[in-house]
Structure 1
Amino acid sequence: MADGTVIKSLLKSKSGEFDIESIHTLDLKDMDLVDLGCLGECTSLERLDLSYNGISKLHKLAGLENLQYLNLSANRISSLEGLQVLDNLEKLNLAGNLIGGTDSLRCLTGLDKLTSLRLLDSVKGLSNPVCMNSNYENDVCQMFPNLISLDGERINGRGSDVFKLLKHIDNAIANRSDSNTSSNYPAEPWVNEDYWQPSNKFEQTIMGDAQQQLEDLLSSCKRLSNTADEKLQKLKEET
């Protein structure tokens, strides 16, 4: 790395690959990066973690046509230009940037495979100015009808009804007590801690990922059910 720029020697050392075109997974977290350099030449890349850097421009990611999972949290991003051509992108983390309004997200609406979007991470204290808008969640859901998860909450598919129930209970409790306390039910983790570790057998991890996601979902639903029971009991005691 030279002056915060991604160079080939960095990509090779981080991935263990001799040819950068063969890299499937890259973890470039917290490396003081400001320029993506030659990163667009990693044409086989499917998973990329660029969190906790100083990145502001994303156009050099345009060549990553196979990219599925992208973590850009905790950077200096205000424009998402460059991401609109990543047709295989499924999971995108933008928490902790400078995205000011939903208009900045419109360039992503053509990404039909995008099912998970994060702009707010309350656990890590990462947000965006757009999240301060009172209609933020509704606006984003309307813009991205294919989303399954927003900010770690399941808004469609299995488990979404539980999240909606808990939010309804939270609102009821807040209205009765005139409290501004935010909801404390658990959001799903964006990825597992070891998610970005490179593997020499990448193709064999697909089934393992699916099984892990199912186990995480079942565990999350169990926690949410317990939380719902507790809040319902609290609401009964207050009435």
Structure 2
Amino acid sequence: MASNETDSGGIITRQLLKSHSGEFDVESIHTISLHSAGIHDLGCISECTCLERLNLSNNNVARLHKLAGLTSLTTLNLSANRITSLDGLQSLENLQKLNVSGNLIGSVDALRCLTALDKLTSLRLYDKASGLTNPMCNSNYIDEVLSMLPVLLNLDGERIRGRGSELFQICQNMDSALNNLSSVKQASEVNIADPPKRSVLPDLSMVEDVRAALPVVEAEEQLRELLANCRRVCEQAHAKFTEGTDVSLASHKALAS
């Protein structure tokens, strides 16, 4: 197999497709993995007219136009390549899952060609486990992506719509709340650490500020504990969703408590 990869010169050939799939005819290939095959040119990949699942991860692919004829494709892994544009994917009318983490996609606008794919429910731009990302992920991209691609149910491995999405949203909201509480806490610590240097009578407004700050600190502690519990429940729920099962009643009760 190594010799086939070398002989292909980084271009997908019929021989390469046959050797990796075990099929005698490329038209019969339904699933193929070309992971780490040194590919930079997609060659004759469009001849795999019945292809449903394709793994091209960890290669040197930059242009995707030769994928345009793969209208049966449902799952496509393009992670860890050199992709800047997704042009060529707009005709993959049956595409459901797309992984483009670890590429060179610079902005949300580069995803605009995916708006025609009404079956695309799972998109991965950033893979936390492997550290694969895109330049666009350095900004607050999530809301823009969800606005552009309203059919998405799963983004970067997180359930963002449908069953279980409430858990994800709770964690997002609580993170924001914690940031706000931290700001209030820092302000209150300044008030406590820098009391008036000299005063015959106590400054009642300062006393009230300190008194008000104490419950904020306590609330932050409680909120952090609740957030940790929510995240644990969210992870359990996500694991069950990915297996195609429903979140158990026990998980909901744990969140409610």
> Do both share a fold (TM > 0.5)?
yes
Q: CA deviation at 1:177?
A: 3.6
Residue 214 (str. 1) matches residue 244 (str. 2): yes
Which position in structure 1 is the counterpart of 2:55? 49
The code of the aligned residue for 2:181 comes to R
Pair 212,101 (structure 1): closer, same or farther in 2 beyond 3 Å = closer
Q: Which has the larger radius of gyration?
A: 2
8 Å contact kept, 1:70–1:93: yes
* C-alpha RMSD of the superposition: 2.7
Q: Distance in 2 between matches of 1:212 and 1:128?
A: 24
Matched, 1:22 2:28: yes
Q: Confirm whether residue 114 of structure 1 aligns to residue 144 of structure 2.
A: no
Task: After TM superposition, list the pairs within 5 Å mapping 1:148-167 onto structure 2.
Answer: 148-167=153-172
Identity %: 52
Question: Normalising to structure 1: TM-score of the pair?
Answer: 0.76
Contact 1:5 1:34 in 2 (8 A): yes
Go from structure 1 to structure 2 and tell me whether the alpha carbon gap of 1:115 and 1:225 turns closer, same or farther (over 3 Å shift). Answer: farther
- SS state at 1:214 partner: coil
Which structure dedicates a bigger proportion of its chain to helix?
2
Name the structure 2 match of 1:196.
Answer: none
Q: 1:218 to 1:22 in 2, by over 3 A?
A: farther
Whether the 8 Å contact between 1:65 and 1:85 is mirrored in structure 2 is yes
2:147 pairs with one of 137, 142, 149: 142
**1:79 & 1:96 partners in 2: Cα distance?**
13
Q: In structure 1, how many angstroms separate the alpha carbons of the residues matched to 2:142 and 2:119?
A: 19
The secondary structure found in structure 1 opposite 2:27 is: helix
Report SS of the residue matched to 2:244.
helix
What is the CA deviation profile of residues 27-86 of structure 1, one whole-angstrom value per residue up to 9, with x for unaligned ones?
111111111111111000000111111110101111101000001011100011110110
Q: Which runs of 5+ in 1 are unaligned?
A: 193-210, 233-239
Seen in structure 2, the aligned counterparts of structure 1 residues 51 and 225 have a Cα distance that, compared at 3 Å, is farther
* Distance apart, 1:5 and its partner CA: 0.9
Q: Is the 8 A contact 1:162 1:225 kept in 2?
A: no
- Whether the aligned pair in 2 keeps the contact of 1:90 and 1:113 (CA below 8 Å) is yes
Q: 2:63 is aligned with what amino acid? A: K
Deviations 1:75-110 (A, max 9, x none): 100011110110110111111111111111111101
CA distance in 1, matches of 2:15, 2:180: 57
Contact 1:47 1:67 in 2 (8 A): yes
User: What residue identity is the alignment partner of 2:243?
Assistant: Q
Matching residue's letter, 1:55: V
Equivalent residue in structure 2 for 1:72, among 78, 87, 103: 78
2:180 & 2:105 partners in 1: Cα distance?
A: 30
Gaps of 5+ in 2: 184-226
User: Matched residue of 1:87: which SS?
Assistant: coil
Counterpart residue identity of residue 67, structure 2: L
TM-score (norm 2): 0.71
Q: Secondary structure at the match of 1:77?
A: coil
**Structure 1 residue runs of 4 or more that deviate by more than 6 Å after TM superposition:** none
Go from structure 1 to structure 2 and tell me whether the alpha carbon gap of 1:225 and 1:57 turns closer, same or farther (over 3 Å shift).
farther
